[in-house]
Amino acid sequence: MDYDKVFCNGKVITLNASDDIADWVAVSGGKIAAVGTGAFDGAAAERVDLDGMVLLPGLYDAHCHVMPTGLFLNSANLLEAGSIAEALVLLRSECAKKQPGEWVFGAGFMSQNMVEGRYPNRHELDSVSTEHPIMVTAQTLHGGSLNTPALALADIPDVAGVGTEEGGGFDGTLLSDDAFFPVMSQIMSMLPEERLQAFIEECARYSARKGATSVVGLLGQFVDGDKDVAIVERNKGSFPVDITTFYQTWDLDKVESYGLPRIGGCLTLDGAGFEYTMALNEPYPERPERRGFLIHTDEEVYSLASEAHRRGIQTAFHALGDRAIDQLLYVFRQIIGEQGKKDLRHRIEHFSLSDAKQMDMAAELGLVCSMQPAFSALWGAPDSGYYDLLLGRERAAQMEVYSEIVSRGCIVCGGSDSPVTLVDPVYGISSLIDNPDPRRNIPVSEALRIFTYNAAFSVHRETSKGSVEVGKDADFTVINKDPYACVGSGDAFDMKAVMTVKDGEVVYSE
């Protein structure tokens, strides 16, 4: 039989039920046509020499804010700043690239990185420019700040988290979801549609460069009118990665109008740790007056989730802290008790600060835990990470304990929460096999499945993606090192994608 293409002379990690290792994989019509061991002796129109590299099933990012990721990649990168003065310098450089009146964005801001420990106010941003509206967004997307021209263009809600000055008036800071989300949505909707599409395309290209062949795209939350949903759905098949849309709305009729079988993706039940809005059962050690917020009542969450379950629509809710996780688990326990399980694979996004009882409940209810392993690698180093600063050592040690979560039977899929951490599923895998905290390490095959089969399963795509098997989509990620050989070697974080293949076509190669 003649094949369109064969990928050979490498190690093929199939992740099939037997965890077979192969030497080559042949492709025809964008599908996997054959998988074999030994030298390939068939006929193929094209041979791709892997040169000893490792071929994996196409990697997923199971939780990506698509449009904000494109925005981040086209903004002043404020992760590089250690003070407000340094952030202003970076914003000034970005203003120099824009015409007067054009929006200027600074992304990746973390108040914890600032010597001042806070966000810039409107007066400080005005010192950069009053000829450009400026918006600074938090690395977590759960806060930001605006200069005076930007404030004049936005309708600022009268809610908690809106910063005020002595004598009244806004200081330009927006430090809660209720304050920041609607303002960012307004601002994004002011941009021309071609600029929004450019952001989405940039996210897709970046994802391919990092080895992702599929992205679960969280859309609709940060653009009034949900223009990003329409752009992605209208252009399906034109991106270098598959984008599966999670429509972030509380309106089931809107979701059904697009023919989508899922709702949410990051419908926030609580906030973020770095803004002290992650909902905790016990207060933050450094802010004993605070323990975060539950954004919605149990009744509100139940109303949407129960109706979605009744209609056969998958849901996904953001729940970081133990108090928010409890809320969602008990809502679903009631719903499933009333209606039964339906294999909808409802997802709980983040599931960061969970205890053994919550892990057991998630497994029992069949909820998919959509998690971000890069978080703990970057912020969870024992005795020195941000988690310790936020929660203290004892509770920080309970954040994202993958070994226990997996051993208790939870289905975990892996994402980045990009742009919170940028799309990089290979880094996510490294974070699961060589984490600074050994309690967060799991076996290599399970780590790989979290970013392949489990992620595909989480959006009902496991029959076509997630493993290298005949008949599935010819989506592959080629990496430079064998992850099984990296355990204990110190090389795990040197792994990187060197080739990305979608439907049998190379969409990225070093």
Question: Which pLDDT tens digit goes with each residue over 434-480?
Answer: 998 999 999 999 999 999 999 999 999 999 999 999 999 999 999 99
Task: Name the pLDDT band for 6 (thresholds 50, 70, 90).
Answer: very high
Q: Could you tell me which of 260, 361, 346, 351 has the C-alpha nearest to residue 302?
A: 346
Q: Please state which of the ranges 327-336, 351-360, 388-397, 441-450 shows the lowest mean pLDDT.
A: 388-397
pLDDT one-digit tens code per residue, 134-154:
999 998 898 999 999 999 999
* pLDDT of amino acid 313: 98
Q: Are 459 and 262 in contact (CB under 8 A)?
A: yes
Q: What is the CATH number of the domain that holds 139?
A: 3.10.310.70
The verdict on residue 265 lying in a domain is: yes
pTM of the model: 0.94
Helix H or strand E segment including 49: strand 43-49
Q: What is the CATH number of the domain that holds 19?
A: 2.30.40.10
pLDDT one-digit tens code per residue, 370-395:
999 999 999 998 877 889 989 999 99
Q: Are residues 301 and 354 in the same domain?
A: yes
* pLDDT of amino acid 213: 98
* pLDDT of amino acid 177: 87
The strands making up 476-479's β-sheet, listed across from edge to edge, are: 21-22, 11-13, 54-57, 476-479, 497-502, 505-509
Task: Name the pLDDT band for 284 (thresholds 50, 70, 90).
Answer: very high
* pLDDT of amino acid 279: 98
- For residues 208 and 202, what is the distance between their CA atoms, to the nearest angstrom? 10
Q: What is the CATH number of the domain that holds 346?
A: 3.20.20.140
For residue 183, pLDDT beyond 80: yes
The verdict on residue 341 lying in a domain is: yes
Task: Name the pLDDT band for 28 (thresholds 50, 70, 90).
Answer: very high
User: What is the span of the domain harbouring residue 377?
Assistant: 249-442
Q: Are residues 172 and 119 in the same domain?
A: yes
Q: Are 63 and 218 in contact (CB under 8 A)?
A: yes
* pLDDT of amino acid 274: 84
Q: Give percent of the chain with pLDDT exceeding 70.
A: 100
The verdict on residue 453 lying in a domain is: no
The verdict on residue 272 lying in a domain is: yes
Tell me the average pLDDT of the chain.
96
Q: Give percent of the chain with pLDDT exceeding 90.
A: 91
Task: Name the pLDDT band for 407 (thresholds 50, 70, 90).
Answer: very high
Q: Using CA of residue 103, residue 109, residue 115, residue 117, what is the dihedral sign?
A: positive
The verdict on residue 163 lying in a domain is: yes
The verdict on residue 240 lying in a domain is: no
Q: Are residues 406 and 507 in the same domain?
A: no
For residue 225, pLDDT beyond 90: no
- For residues 67 and 123, what is the distance between their CA atoms, to the nearest angstrom? 28
* pLDDT of amino acid 112: 86
The residue out of 172, 190, 208 marking a domain boundary is 190
Task: Name the pLDDT band for 1 (thresholds 50, 70, 90).
Answer: confident
Q: Are residues 400 and 485 in the same domain?
A: no
Q: Which letter does DSSP use for residue 159 in this model?
A: S
* pLDDT of amino acid 131: 97
* Token digits of residue 345: 């694979």
ω into 419 cis (within 30 of 0): yes
Which phi and psi angles does 385 have, rounded to 5°?
-95, 175
Q: Are 423 and 215 in contact (CB under 8 A)?
A: yes
* pLDDT of amino acid 30: 98
Task: Name the pLDDT band for 498 (thresholds 50, 70, 90).
Answer: very high
pLDDT one-digit tens code per residue, 31-55:
999 999 999 999 999 999 999 999 9
Q: Are residues 42 and 160 in the same domain?
A: no
* Token digits of residue 81: 């700043």
Q: Are residues 311 and 420 in the same domain?
A: yes
The mean pLDDT value for 414-438 works out to: 96
* pLDDT of amino acid 488: 86
The verdict on residue 226 lying in a domain is: no
Q: Are residues 438 and 510 in the same domain?
A: no
Q: Please state which of the ranges 34-48, 121-135, 160-174, 193-207 shows the lowest mean pLDDT.
A: 160-174
Q: Are residues 401 and 494 in the same domain?
A: no
pLDDT one-digit tens code per residue, 185-200:
999 999 999 999 999 9
Single-letter residue type at 403 = S
The verdict on residue 421 lying in a domain is: yes
Q: Are residues 272 and 368 in the same domain?
A: yes
Q: Are residues 42 and 72 in the same domain?
A: no
* pLDDT of amino acid 186: 94
* pLDDT of amino acid 318: 98
Q: Are residues 259 and 300 in the same domain?
A: yes
- For residues 453 and 164, what is the distance between their CA atoms, to the nearest angstrom? 48
Q: Could you tell me which of 274, 367, 376 has the C-alpha nearest to residue 314?
A: 367
Q: Are residues 435 and 396 in the same domain?
A: yes
What residues pair up with 268 in beta bridges, in sequence order? 318
Total structural domains in the chain? 3
